[in-house]
Structure 1
């Protein structure tokens, strides 16, 4: 059967992607700095091999023949997902794929040193090369798909999502979010708040993180936790790699980062074993992926009932202190304070960080602004959205994220889509299973079982809209997200 031949071909691709993921993890965590150029070349070669594999001329015949075969409904969906990846790969010439991999690897590696040095001038030529190549890729994809340049990149991370739909969704958020930020700050201004007193030894923070990961059901036989400059979850379902970064003066930063990445990891580990080596058995979209990390971090970990479970763990690892009282920790973990750094942003202001980046990356790809204009535009939008300035402070402004260093344009909207999906899932779960407070206190396992049944096991067997509709009883809608924020922060 041609379908079987295609399945074998894509399983081989999965193995190559596994190797690439572990090479990328090693580059970010353990590789000596002197190995970067050789690693960039090696990963570039691997990217070309993966790309060439999907450009094999015989695949066109296999796809044509497979469409005539008698397939199950799941195999039909699987064929469509393989076809979508094949279509994506045939849009770009091999030379462009290699050039993008090399430029991204070099830019990302340099960024690690250029950002702490606030060296925008040193970063700019590297970023201009990445942007130029990304625009070339966007043009090729747009022509093949009949989409705008930006939408053609958005399609890679959020299949079916379009910028006009994002504009409507984000327009709704803009209509009430700024007012909510002010209201919450006014409410919290008089609340007592004790900051935990460090230092908090890194090894003890790591031990705490591992204990919380176990509480959240992470499978350590198929994954591990390490340190990197920017937290991430990588690898593949059978071999998940999480990273975080530690601050000896702030125990919350690494802990919440670990919980966030554990949400990503549980999704990967929960994907259907039968399908996980084929496109249909992999994550549906980055928005759905982010919904799992944000469900773990925001819906679960910042819930007062979960913080009550965390408090004794904090005391056991770091000793008793008044700041570890559950009520105080709940106030600390839900404090709304507009800041410059996205990854440290609270739940309420976070969408503002994403909408800012969405507007910028869309205009960069569409050619409405140039790379050299980025610091000024960033400063302007930060003032518009959060009343903060970044002029002369690019390390805490436009240099703070890793995403654009390797050309991941179109990714940022996934974060806010994920927050909205997570709120919808939490609302649906509570309608079916009871309040989160009750579930966290005595039936935490049922939370993961609901996610397994309604999200994880479906992988890409359903498109995003159908997945959310089936799980939550309605399509993408920010109402549950707004209600969640209003309830948690204004009561």
Structure 2
């Protein structure tokens, strides 16, 4: 990066400070979910609000606008990474200056309160208790979306989507999701019909000690390339990956009667973590060194969890280790049964437990509901009824209570409207990337079966991770796979796996 005292180099220093503040906030968020006693919630909300406000004020200061304008005149002296970094700086500045600082602070306070209320509401199956806090978050998010919509000349929903997947629009998503929705219900019916006479998978009998589950998860994390000198694994209500690239914080949750939920959740978050740990080291304190967007982030988690870890090749490596960890024996532990267990297809209430055939339908429902919440077409108090109706229409089931329905996700209470579609965009990207990697890496199948994952990680690092935000998602996909993102590889993957 530049050592000259130029407008651009001054911006680098300012954004490095902003990165430090963002990293501190990320650690506080992780701590509040994984470690903090309930009594610390009030001060923690204040700490996060102050950090958010300070960051917003720093980005909004008049000298940043002047430096950005001056740096434009220096662009011919910048290399490709610096130019990409400047573009990312400008984009962050545009987002920040579109929103009043008081609104940013109010939104931070509201989401902190709402997240805490969500935990109690979910535990007690009490959606009504969440309505006031969630309504406040939705109203403040609407105001933020309107402000950014006016500034950027896009729809309010697209203005929020830009925060999670830059350059993507709801019009693009609608085309991709309409394609999937026209395919998935009939495909789901075909799979279920095809499996009518298949013996049901036998669930290995527990209990499964949590300490053993954690040890097993860490063993697979290490094998896949996770660096425990720069990260850790803990427990939270809702699995997530946080922290910073040099100190990645994963969380999972354990069920003593079913080790598969925790293991798959841990592997999912490991995909996120490997992406973070693989971001370009020289640019980690700059915007260009960040992950490109959540679609690519989700592609990396789903590549590990769905494309890799549920494959026949991976099971040849993993099952002996799983059996040894839990002293498993008998029919339930045979490879054919474990594969049936991992590749079970059945409509479920909980998104994070859904199979990869039905999962996109969960996301499409949430995508449409959050658009309706943002536009005001759906009131928060009417969310349970709309949710249950949507579940019946898309998956043919309706949850018996809100804990298994609209209370299951933390995203809306935390203000993350515009995030959900990136899960399925990520699933499509994962299939496209993994199928390409399988053709590019010599002797790929045998490497996976024998636990040699380094070539796969190396390929991902070179083609995805190390690029950070230096290119658009579309350009990264085009460069890595030879094609922009489509649903074709994902549909082909589902056909090959579930209707061989």
Shorter-chain TM-score: which interval?
over 0.9
**Alignment equivalent of 1:103, drawn from 110, 116, 119:** 110
Tell me the distance in 2 between the aligned counterparts of 1:324 and 1:111.
Answer: 38
1:52-71 counterparts in 2 under 5 A?
Answer: 52-69=57-74, 70-71=77-78
Q: Is the 8 A contact 2:251 2:269 kept in 1?
A: yes
User: What secondary structure does 1:67 align onto?
Assistant: helix
Contact 2:23 2:243 in 1 (8 A): yes
Give the CA deviation at 1:433: 2.1
1:446 aligned partner: 455
Are 1:46 and 2:51 an aligned pair?
yes
Task: Indicate yes or no: 2:144 matched with 1:132.
Answer: no
Counterparts of 1:159 and 1:315, CA distance in 2? 43
Q: Which residue of 1 aligns with 2:315?
A: 307
| Secondary structure of residue in 1 paired with 2:282 | coil
Corresponding residue for 1:206?
A: 214
Distance 2:447 2:337 in 1: 22
* 1:405 counterpart residue number: 413
8 Å contact kept, 2:28–2:48: yes
Question: 2:79, 2:490 → 1: CA distance?
Answer: 37
Aligned pair 1:478/2:487, yes or no?
A: yes
Give the Å deviation of 1:233. Answer: 0.2
CA contact (8 A) 2:19 2:286 kept: yes
Deviation sequence 1:22-80 (CA, Å, 0-9, x none): 10001001111111011111111111111111011101111111111111121111100
Deviation at 1:370, TM superposition (A): 1.3
Candidates 322, 326, 332, aligned match of 2:335: 326
CA-to-aligned-CA distance 1:251-308 (integer Å, 9 cap, x gap):
0000000000000000000001011110101100000000000000001000011112
Displacement, 1:444?
2.1
> What does 1:15-26 correspond to in 2, within 5 Å?
15-26=20-31
Q: Does 1:232 align with 2:240?
A: yes
Q: CA deviation at 1:434?
A: 5.0
How far 1:435 moved relative to its partner?
A: 6.7
1:215 and 1:206 map into 2 onto residues whose CA distance is 14
1:29 aligns to what?
34
2:225 touches 2:453 (CA, 8 Å); kept in 1?
no
> After superposition, where does 1:288-303 map in structure 2 within 5 Å?
288-303=296-311
Cα distance, 1:401–1:445 mapped onto 2, change above 3 Å: same
DSSP 3-state at the match of 1:242? strand
TM-score after normalising by structure 1? 0.98
SS at match of 2:283: coil
Q: Is 1:79 the counterpart of 2:86 in the alignment? A: yes
Aligned residues: 490
CA distance in 1: counterparts of 2:362 and 2:23, whole angstroms: 31
Structure 1's unaligned 5+ residue stretches are none
Match of 2:366 among 330, 344, 357: 357
**Structure 2: how far apart are the matches of 1:203 and 1:73?**
47
Tell me how far 1:439 sits from its aligned partner: 3.2
Q: 1:9 aligns with which of 11, 14, 23?
A: 14
Residue 424 (str. 1) matches residue 432 (str. 2): yes
- The ranges of structure 1 where at least 4 consecutive aligned residues each deviate by more than 4 angstroms after the TM superposition are none
Q: Distance in 2 between matches of 1:261 and 1:118?
A: 26
Q: Report how far residue 436 of structure 1 moved.
A: 4.8
* Rounded Cα–Cα distance in structure 2 between residues aligned with 1:405 and 1:158: 20
State the partner residue of 2:324. 316
Partners of 2:30 and 2:233 in 1: how far apart? 11
Please say if residues 188 and 335 of structure 1, whose CA atoms lie closer than 8 Å, have aligned partners that are also in contact: no
Which whole-Å CA distance do the structure 1 matches of 2:402 and 2:64 have between them? 46
Measured on the aligned residues, the alpha-carbon RMSD in Å equals: 1.0
Quote the Cα distance in structure 2 between the aligned partners of 1:73 and 1:198: 55
Cα pair 1:420 1:478 within 8 Å, conserved: yes
Under a length normalisation based on structure 2, what TM-score does the superposition of the two structures give? 0.97
Q: Distance in 2 between matches of 1:160 and 1:366?
A: 21
Bigger drift between 185-194 and 224-233 goes to: 185-194
Could you list the runs of 5+ residues in structure 2 that have no partner in the other structure?
1-5
Alpha-carbon distance in structure 1 between the residues aligned to 2:196 and 2:14: 59
| 1:261 has 2:266 as partner | no
Moved more, 370-379 or 250-259: 370-379
Distance 2:445 2:187 in 1: 24
Distance in 1 (CA, whole Å) between partners of 2:478 and 2:410 is 32
